[in-house]
């Protein structure tokens, strides 16, 4: 029985409710009147239910699809402006006791190199990331209570926050580790993590159990209820995601929105981010078995419909996607992207030798951070290295209230300009710097409050003179 307020996975992600929603969407995909009503509601920018969003995803009317894309673009502009927040993943360890059939880190893969970074190696990796200009990391580790216990993760976080190298600093560490206990989530919270990220992979229980035949991850309910436990442990910001390509995309699209509704209704705060990874080629993974792939066109539609359905949730796309594809979805709703990522354990400080391949998947976008930053600016985006909210205690419902009031833009935009200025001063090539300085000059005019503008100009001058870390 579907119940958004239930603590039980199978009730807040009800299989029957998803099937009914999909049937409803299929039956109404040419229903112009209904689609108009849903779009009208969406224009209020308060979001849509999973069922309404499913209808838009299936919509077969060309002119209405155009309206969907236009509305997604408009909502993206209204809520996130032209800013794109930058981050990088850091793989700590690929030891894993799970049997996920789509991931090369699965226990039975005997020919992938197994690695776990020591604290000394972490220092080197993080210094290399700082030297690129990164300020925000997403830590990744397989599930292995012997090799990667929670104490190891906590030690790594502590090491990372402690590294001060030249003008560099990692100011926000997000963590993507396996579902765990309330107690461990409390420890992560106390260690000062930003967002706790856990991908559901698929919400379809039967497929989930087949794809995860062995290991603790096999337990669908424990995995699906992890975000509730994370919030019980005091973590306000959680990041959802499914791996598109594992299962029917309509099913998982509806599932992820139901999960967002559950968190909002039951815990009072919706997800901080939604990631939209697509399955990629990887070691020991048969591409023919996992060719549930979705086209670029459907991928773009998913991004647009998520943007409309949950306007307050940031959306992340990684270097799994090519430059061309990222370009296509950026304006439809993506608010964060990774840049210059290595998906191996280590690899930032030194290139990994071919025979020691420890990568989780192939990267499609291999450009340097400088190239990615320049590319964004050439398209009119402002790359942002901002981490202010979490450091100002603006998390969970405090963050959402500010976002929903529309006031957050008064923080995001100045912070984006100031952190971009830091990047230009410390890390950019001459060409990127020239483009960036011009961009910042033009973007100052977007700040309408004269007092704020004056303060930003003062801070920018200070940054030029060597001071760092100003924020609103």
35 versus 388: smaller Cβ distance to ligand SF4: 388
Q: Does 411 bind ligand SF4 (CB under 6 A)?
A: yes
Burial class (CB in 10 A: 0-12, 13-18, 19+), 316: buried
143 versus 228: smaller Cβ distance to ligand SF4: 143
51 versus 217: smaller Cβ distance to ligand SF4: 217
Tabulate helix, strand, coil % of the chain (nearest 5).
50, 10, 40
| Residues 411-441: b if buried by 16+ CB within 10 A, e if exposed | bbbbbbbbbbbbbbbbbbeeebbebbbebbe
> CA-CA distance, 338 to 334, in Å (whole number)?
11
Q: Which listed residue (271, 415, 423, 447) binds ligand SF4 by CB under 6 A?
A: 415
Q: Does 207 bind ligand SF4 (CB under 6 A)?
A: no
103 versus 276: smaller Cβ distance to ligand SF4: 103
Q: Does 456 bind ligand SF4 (CB under 6 A)?
A: no
Q: Does 202 bind ligand SF4 (CB under 6 A)?
A: no
399 CB-near residues (< 8 Å, 6+ apart): 236, 237, 272, 389, 408
3 versus 109: smaller Cβ distance to ligand SF4: 109
> CA-CA distance, 258 to 253, in Å (whole number)?
9
> CA-CA distance, 106 to 308, in Å (whole number)?
36
The interface mask with ligand SF4, positions 370-399, x = CB under 6 A, is: --------------x-xxxx----------
List binders of ligand SF4 among 73-112 (CB under 6 A).
85, 96, 98, 100, 103, 105-106
Work out how close the CB of 384 gets to ligand SF4 at its nearest, in angstroms, rounded to a whole number.
Answer: 5
Work out how close the CB of 172 gets to ligand SF4 at its nearest, in angstroms, rounded to a whole number.
Answer: 8
Q: Which listed residue (217, 229, 259, 421) binds ligand SF4 by CB under 6 A?
A: 217
Q: Does 304 bind ligand SF4 (CB under 6 A)?
A: no
Query: By C-alpha distance, which of 116, 175, 111 is closest to 144?
Result: 116
Q: Does 308 bind ligand SF4 (CB under 6 A)?
A: no
Partner residues linked to 141 by β-bridges:
93
Write out the DSSP string of 108-155: T--SSPP-B--HHHHHHHHHHHHHHT--EEEEEE---TTTS-HHHHHH
Residue that the structure tokens 């100011």 belong to: 171
Work out how close the CB of 206 gets to ligand SF4 at its nearest, in angstroms, rounded to a whole number.
Answer: 18
428 CB-near residues (< 8 Å, 6+ apart): 133, 370, 373, 436
22 versus 100: smaller Cβ distance to ligand SF4: 100
Partner residues linked to 201 by β-bridges:
242
Q: How many CB atoms lie within 10 A of CB 158?
A: 13
29 versus 204: smaller Cβ distance to ligand SF4: 204
Q: Total binding residues for ligand SF4 by CB under 6 A?
A: 20
Tokens of 37: 């009503």
137 versus 412: smaller Cβ distance to ligand SF4: 412
Work out how close the CB of 452 gets to ligand SF4 at its nearest, in angstroms, rounded to a whole number.
Answer: 13
> Under the rule (CB under 6 A), what is the footprint of ligand SF4?
85, 96, 98, 100, 103, 105-106, 142-143, 178, 217, 384, 386-389, 408, 411-412, 415
């Amino acid at each position: 029985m579907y119940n958004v307020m239930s603590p039980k996975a199978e009730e807040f992600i009800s299989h029957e409710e998803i099937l009914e929603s999909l049937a409803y969407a299929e039956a109404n995909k040419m229903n112009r009147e209904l689609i108009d009503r849903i779009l009208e509601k969406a224009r209020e920018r308060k979001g849509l239910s999973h069922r309404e969003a499913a209808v838009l995803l299936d919509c077969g009317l060309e002119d209405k699809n155009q309206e969907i894309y236009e509305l997604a673009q408009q909502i993206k502009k209204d809520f996130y402006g032209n800013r794109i927040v930058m981050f990088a993943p850091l793989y700590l360890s690929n030891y894993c006791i799970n049997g996920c059939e789509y991931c090369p880190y699965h226990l039975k893969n005997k020919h992938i190199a197994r690695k776990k970074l020591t604290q000394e190696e972490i220092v080197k990796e993080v210094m290399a990331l700082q030297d690129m200009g990164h300020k925000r990391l997403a830590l990744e580790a397989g599930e292995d209570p012997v090799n990667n216990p929670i104490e190891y993760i906590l030690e790594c976080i502590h090491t990372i926050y402690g590294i001060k190298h030249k003008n560099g600093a990692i100011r926000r560490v997000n963590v993507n580790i396996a579902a765990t206990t309330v107690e461990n989530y409390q420890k992560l919270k106390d260690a000062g993590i930003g967002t706790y990220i856990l991908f559901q992979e698929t919400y379809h229980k039967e497929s989930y159990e087949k794809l995860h035949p062995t290991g603790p991850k096999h337990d669908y309910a424990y995995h699906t209820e992890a975000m509730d436990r994370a919030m019980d442990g005091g973590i306000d910001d959680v990041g959802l995601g499914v791996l598109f390509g594992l299962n029917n995309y309509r099913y998982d699209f509806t599932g992820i929105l139901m999960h967002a509704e559950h968190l909002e209704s039951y815990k009072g705060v919706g997800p901080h981010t939604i990631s939209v990874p697509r399955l990629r080629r990887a070691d020991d993974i048969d591409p023919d078995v996992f060719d549930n792939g979705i086209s670029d066109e459907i991928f773009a539609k998913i991004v647009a419909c998520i943007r409309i359905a949950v306007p307050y949730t940031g959306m992340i796309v990684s270097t799994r996607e090519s430059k061309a594809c990222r370009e296509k979805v950026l304006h439809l709703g993506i608010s964060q992207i990774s840049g210059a990522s290595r998906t191996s354990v280590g690899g930032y400080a030194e290139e990994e030798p071919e025979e020691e391949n420890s990568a989780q998947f192939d990267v499609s976008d291999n450009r340097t951070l400088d190239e990615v930053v320049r590319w964004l600016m050439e398209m009119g985006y402002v790359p942002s290295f901002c981490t202010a909210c979490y450091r100002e205690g603006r998390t969970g419902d405090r963050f959402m209230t500010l976002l929903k009031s529309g006031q957050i833009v008064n923080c995001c935009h100045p912070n984006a300009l100031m952190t971009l200025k830091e990047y230009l001063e410390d890390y950019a090539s001459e060409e990127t710097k020239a483009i960036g300085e011009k961009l910042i000059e033009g973007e100052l005019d977007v700040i309408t409050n004269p007092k704020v503008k004056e303060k930003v100009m003062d801070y920018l001058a200070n940054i030029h003179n060597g001071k760092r870390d100003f924020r609103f």
